[in-house]
Copies of this chain bind each other. A is one copy, B any other.
Amino acid sequence: MIEAQAVRITEYGGPNVLSIQTVHMQDPGPNEVRIHVVAAGLNRADILQRRGLYPAPSSVVQDIPGLEYAGTVMDIGSHVSRWQPGDRVMGIVGGGSMATHVLVHEQEVLPVPDTISLEAASAIPEAFITAYDALFHQASLRANESVLIHAVGSGIGTAATQLANATEAIVYGTSRTRSKLERCKEFGLQHPIHVTDGTFSENVAFDVILDLVGGSYARENFRAIAQKGRIVTIGLLGGTKESIPIQVLMQKRVIWRGSVLRSRPLEEKIELIQSFESQIIPLFQQGRIRPVVDQFLPMQNIREAHASMEGNSTFGKLVLCW
């Protein structure tokens, strides 16, 4: 048992319910690794959890938010062979990463490429693993196909843009903020679409749509999707229900799937993480893709970081550093 510092959700509400407190943490089990966390990326799920709208899975700590981290291995369980104390690592967790220490299964841990600081690395796991899984495992995106990425200036949006571009897909992206579209060009966005009235389906039929918005976009997606196109919904910024034209689903033979990472069983997460390590980590090492960080903030500023993300003005990720 050790003492750690952690962001705690003291009750449901606005950013002011967050407080940094001392907590006690178990020692690693046989297959676990304890990580000294250097930084943690902020996600919209943290905000929903703070508001009481998105409880953590029952298997993880309920009142400490945080879905990703980067840091160094502090100590390891008796059966762990892959990691040594001092290794630079990063990863996703079901919750609890906004703390000075986290306990994780050794197979859930990813190495941090030498060229990337731990602070910047903490912006990688959620955005890139989610985008990788959605674009390639769920939507089977291939070279020369067109892909439309909604909320393209978000953490997942900028990650998806880079991954799609590295795959030689034809990359379209929507945003309601023109300056975000401009900034996305350096990450491989070829065709920015400035959404002013909720429509984005004028000229192109997209093979793949990556939707972080839901709501009215879900309906508009059916106008924009190509014959045999694939729509993957992984976020609901715009609403949770919508009237869908089922006849278009049929006529265009669309595949629409929803996905979340957080609640998946350990075995599925491990499989995904191993595939990410072999397919995507090399792209970071080669400098072909990189984390997109809006701001690094000290963990003491966690309330400010939440307020900032809720204001919707960030480009890429907010990172909290201990």
Which residues of A pack against B, CB within 8 Å?
A: 214-215, 218, 233-234, 236, 239-260, 263
Residues on B with beta carbons closer than 8 Å to the beta carbon of A256: 249, 255-257
Q: Give the residue of B247, B259, B263 whose beta carbon is less than 8 angstroms from that of A240.
A: B247
Closest to A245 in B: B241
| Residues B255 and A255 in contact, CB atoms below 8 Å apart | yes
| In the bound complex, CA of A240 to CA of B247 (Å) | 5
Q: Give the residue of B241, B248, B250, B251 whose beta carbon is less than 8 angstroms from that of A243.
A: B241
| In the bound complex, CA of A258 to CA of B218 (Å) | 15
Residues on B with beta carbons closer than 8 Å to the beta carbon of A260: 250-251, 253
Interface residues of A, dominant DSSP: mixed
| Residues A249 and B257 in contact, CB atoms below 8 Å apart | yes
Closest to A263 in B: B251
| Residues B233 and A249 in contact, CB atoms below 8 Å apart | yes
Q: A240-B246, A242-B244 are in contact. Are A259 and B263 (CB under 8 A)?
A: no
Q: A233-B250, A258-B252 are in contact. Are A241 and B240 (CB under 8 A)?
A: no
Residues on B with beta carbons closer than 8 Å to the beta carbon of A263: 251
| Residues B241 and A246 in contact, CB atoms below 8 Å apart | yes
Closest to A218 in B: B246
Residues on B with beta carbons closer than 8 Å to the beta carbon of A247: 214, 236, 240-241
| In the bound complex, CA of A245 to CA of B241 (Å) | 5
Residues on B with beta carbons closer than 8 Å to the beta carbon of A239: 246
| Residues B246 and A250 in contact, CB atoms below 8 Å apart | no
Residues on B with beta carbons closer than 8 Å to the beta carbon of A249: 233, 256-258
How far does the Cβ of A87 sit from chain B's closest Cβ, in whole Å? 32
Residues on B with beta carbons closer than 8 Å to the beta carbon of A254: 257-258
